[in-house]
Structure 1
């Protein structure tokens, strides 16, 4: 098997917290260099969050995109307590690790309540065969501004995190600088110590990388949450196998004729199956044609699973292309 690469504050009216003194956990390393071009860096070796694991822990290795201290790393800890979390620099490498059997599962963000869909994850779920969603996890996200004392002119972070803090940054004339990962941005700020540069990441990342928390809870929405899914290898469960409170996720391409999308949605509407997500993505090589992503709920009624199964079967007949990602317990 080929080896895979792995991947606080200017506080307003509060007590300034000093940087953590112990940096022994800072083990994920990119070579020093330009921060805004992570694609130019050589790939890092796979990095586990834990230095020592028991024999039982070694049985479960769970992948996530990012570096130790990222929100996805925290999601792994919440969903798989005691597992070995393995970070990768990109979503594609995270999926590749799962497909190749280097890990048993992956925890991936698919949607944020403020910034919307994580498009690359949706596209990779469609593109790659042999994978299934088996569970979801919704996690509150509290962003912090991390750095060194002094005025802040620019903030590094993942584009999703920057979008979730847009009003805070705009009101203080802080320039957004996209980075591959929130925790990676914190690590870069800690290493480079460039005046005026801060990172948007979690309070845990501040402790891990020895930074001041300059401001807490800077996200625009106090109820900011990210929805993660657990992906494994295997065939997806059908709605007929679902229990009360489950949900299903699919993607489909409609037939190219008038009313095809309305007909697709009617497969669910006429059976009273509620939709909790509907969005579209352009299809590469087919300008202005779209693939639709849809989540449906299976409520507590006795016939709900049967109704959802019938709706999916009808849509499979009516669609030009369709893929079931899984039917799984809702968070």
Structure 2
């Protein structure tokens, strides 16, 4: 029985590409129209894992997804970085001169802004997903429309790439988290990254005291994100990602941090994934 992985968007999307990169292609991806739906399927036991985008090197953090992490409290068991490469694709036999319309997800369109400004002859329309725009061109046989989507979508929906790598920034990465509701065996010798959440007091220097605990134990703080605590004025949840080389240093840092925080939660300990 194959592993079922919930993805936001349709097949051929960056989420499916990230799922294949992490798990290999011997999996079954389950399409979901929203990130909340992916979490619901995991909660109901209909999938084994969720692949969830959490930050982009250009657009920044996906704040609504931090809210889902808070609400569902699924363990984070891994991460994967995906190099975002966007291509212009159309039906086989269609040339660039035939194209009148271009469609894609709003963020993808924004990331291709330079190309679109250089080609004002195209009328741009927004779609709910990059891969869904490719799927629409294919299913409706739109000979005057091109989609901006990943290469995987072109392959899946039988489209030809007219222009490659039209994204403005060629060093664009998205980080995805791997979530599950099933306990996994951890090889402590390999685990070297953790995602943690906590609250601090409102006193002067309360957050810096916590961060100093990590620094004093040689723990690298690779990400920090704050979100307001629901219904409480001037109170925040802090989400941090930390990395370490020596497990003992990490364990010592956690013991110190516990003394200075409230509602402390280790959201997941896993193996750091490099940008490749």
TM-score range, shorter chain: 0.7 to 0.9
What TM-score, normalized to structure 1? 0.71
Partners in 1 of 2:215 and 2:124 — Cα distance?
Answer: 42
Gaps of 5+ in 2: none
Gaps of 5+ in 1: 1-57
Mapping of residues 143-162 of structure 1, within 5 Å: 143-147=86-90, 149=95, 150-152=98-100, 154-157=102-105, 159-162=106-109
Q: Secondary structure at the match of 1:233?
A: coil
Mapping of residues 186-265 of structure 1, within 5 Å: 186-192=134-140, 197-234=145-182, 242-244=188-190, 246-265=192-211
Indicate yes or no: 2:22 matched with 1:74. Answer: no
1:141 aligned to 84, 89, 92, which one?
84
1:314 aligned to 243, 256, 260, which one?
256
C-alpha contact 1:115 1:163 (8 A) present in aligned 2: no
Partners in 2 of 1:236 and 1:321 — Cα distance?
Answer: 23
What TM-score, normalized to structure 2? 0.83
Mapping of residues 56-75 of structure 1, within 5 Å: 58-75=1-18
2:72 aligned to 119, 128, 138, which one?
128
Q: Secondary structure at the match of 2:259?
A: helix
Q: 1:66 to 1:314 in 2, by over 3 A?
A: same
Q: Secondary structure at the match of 2:180?
A: strand
C-alpha contact 2:196 2:241 (8 A) present in aligned 1: yes
Alpha-carbon distance, 1:93 to partner? 0.6
Q: Paired residue for 2:58?
A: 114
C-alpha contact 1:271 1:307 (8 A) present in aligned 2: yes
Alpha-carbon distance, 1:297 to partner? 0.6
Q: 1:95 to 1:171 in 2, by over 3 A?
A: same
Alpha-carbon distance, 1:61 to partner? 1.2
Alpha-carbon distance, 1:234 to partner? 4.2
C-alpha contact 1:244 1:298 (8 A) present in aligned 2: no
Alpha-carbon distance, 1:67 to partner? 0.5
1:324 aligned to 255, 258, 266, which one?
266
1:169 aligned to 116, 132, 157, which one?
116
C-alpha contact 2:76 2:269 (8 A) present in aligned 1: yes
